[in-house]
């Protein structure tokens, strides 16, 4: 059994929603489709403008400008999407209990206790598990999950024990991609 005491920071909430909504491996097809749609729309608009202004020449400088604008569009889209998910994380953080919570992780699941509530999550409740450089995300539905920051583990042994519990108690499905996404 592992007992963790922590509160989730504003940045951790933001990172969770950004990861879940955009960066997760299951969202790769969506990300590619979104970026391609944006690029094709931009190129179609460029083509229309090009053909409406016949004296316009399609030389190297024009191609460079189109490429720079397309690259700028790619970075702007990513910035805008990150800002969108950060706003969601900010709203959740603003509505959250900022007090330290206690999380007890054991054979029966995870018990989360805070000043105002207690919750018991059985291992079978978690449908997906993600690990980033800074946290573990245990997902219960499309946008609900537990955030367990790696910073809260007191030792390497405690972290390894947690990873062992995840491997033992989470279903194999939690590590597999979700079909059709």
- Per-residue pLDDT of the chain in tens (181 residues, 90 and over written 9): 899 989 999 999 999 999 999 998 888 999 999 999 998 998 888 888 777 776 666 778 778 888 898 899 999 999 999 999 999 999 989 888 778 889 999 999 999 998 888 999 999 999 899 999 999 999 998 778 999 999 999 999 999 999 999 989 887 666 655 544 4
Domain total in the chain: 2
| Domain end position, chosen among 41, 70, 95 | 95
| Residue appearing with tokens 């994380």 | 89
- pLDDT for 175 equals 62
Task: Identify any residues that bridge with 102 across adjacent strands, giving them in sequence order.
Answer: 5, 113
Residues 44 and 89 in one domain: yes
Residues 87 and 150 in one domain: no
Residues 105 and 126 in one domain: yes
Q: Which domain covers residue 37, as residue numbers?
A: 14-95
- Cβ neighbours around 26 below 10 Å, total: 16
> Between helices 10-18 and 60-95, what is the axis angle to 10°?
130
Residues 116 and 85 in one domain: no
Q: Are strands 128-131 and 135-141 parallel, antiparallel or unpaired?
A: antiparallel
| Domain end position, chosen among 95, 126, 145 | 95
Residues 77 and 108 in one domain: no
Answer yes or no: are the C-beta atoms of 89 and 17 closer than 8 Å: yes
Residues 108 and 126 in one domain: yes
> Between helices 28-52 and 60-95, what is the axis angle to 10°?
140
Query: Could you give the CA distance from residue 19 to residue 50 in angstroms, rounded to a whole number?
Result: 38
Answer yes or no: are the C-beta atoms of 82 and 22 closer than 8 Å: yes
| Domain end position, chosen among 76, 95, 114 | 95
Residues 60 and 110 in one domain: no
CATH number at residue 122: 2.30.29
Query: Could you give the CA distance from residue 181 to residue 115 in angstroms, rounded to a whole number?
Result: 37
């Amino acid at each position: 059994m592992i007992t963790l005491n922590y509160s989730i920071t504003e940045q951790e909430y933001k990172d969770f929603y950004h990861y879940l909504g955009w960066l997760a491996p299951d969202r790769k097809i969506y990300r590619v489709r979104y970026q391609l749609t944006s690029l094709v729309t931009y190129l179609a608009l460029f083509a229309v403008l090009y053909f409406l202004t016949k004296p316009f020449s399609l030389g190297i400088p024009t191609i460079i400008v189109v490429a720079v604008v397309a690259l700028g569009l790619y970075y702007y889209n990513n910035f805008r999407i990150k800002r969108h998910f950060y706003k969601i994380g900010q709203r959740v953080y603003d509505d959250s209990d900022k007090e330290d919570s206690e999380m007890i992780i054991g054979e029966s699941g995870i018990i989360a206790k805070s000043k105002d509530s207690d919750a018991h999550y059985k291992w079978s409740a978690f449908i997906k598990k993600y690990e980033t450089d800074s946290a573990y995300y245990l997902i219960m539905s499309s946008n609900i999950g537990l955030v367990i920051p790696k910073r809260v583990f007191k030792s390497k042994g405690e972290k390894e024990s947690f990873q062992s519990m995840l491997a033992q108690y989470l279903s194999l499905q939690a590590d597999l991609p979700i079909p059709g996404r």
